[in-house]
Amino acid sequence: MATINIFNDFAEQLAKGVHNFGTDTIKLFLSSTAPTADMDEAADLTGQIAYTNVSGGQPTVTIAVSDATDTVLSSDAVVITATDTVPTFRYYGLYNDTSTGDKLICWWDHGSNVDLAATETFTINFNNDATAGTIMTIGQGTIT
């Protein structure tokens, strides 16, 4: 299971009200180059794979308060389907398409390159804490 990485700017942008997971459009990015924690916006990503030959692949992020102190972001599995050959990627992550500059949220390293030929699929299961679908938990003083 890939480990979640949180962009450094995420907590600040969350505190400033940039991210509204109840209404904003959260999108998936694919990249052949490793993101770094100090990146802020989708334009900072190098090696980003265009969705030219990809269908599907956008998460439906939901929020739920699990108790008085934790808020959980989750999504069903995301399946991307190649409509033609897709450039090799290894990293995938989430950004807020509604925010100015498409603010980055988090990313994962698949651990090996992914190559997709036409009609092949790749499934991303968000299982950050061994709970199916959990992207992250935001609690008192922590984001995991």
Per-residue pLDDT tens for 23-59? 999 999 999 999 999 999 999 999 999 888 998 888 8
pLDDT at 128 over 80: no
More confident: 77 or 102: 102
Q: Model pTM?
A: 0.90
Q: What is the pLDDT of residue 140?
A: 66
CA distances from 79 to 111, 121, 124 (A): 18, 7, 6
**Residue 69's pLDDT band (cuts 50, 70, 90):** low
Q: What is the pLDDT of residue 80?
A: 93
Q: Across residues 86-97, what is the average pLDDT?
A: 95
**Contact of 94 with 105, CB cutoff 8 Å:** yes
Reference 124, options 71, 51, 88, 75; nearest CA is 75
CA distances from 44 to 17, 38, 95 (A): 21, 9, 12
What is the residue-averaged pLDDT of the chain? 88
What tens digit of pLDDT does each residue of 10-27 get?
A: 989 988 999 988 899 999
Q: What is the pLDDT of residue 135?
A: 85
Q: What is the pLDDT of residue 3?
A: 84
**Residue 139's pLDDT band (cuts 50, 70, 90):** confident
Q: Residue 112: exposed, middle, or buried by beta-carbon count in 10 A (0-12, 13-18, 19+)?
A: exposed
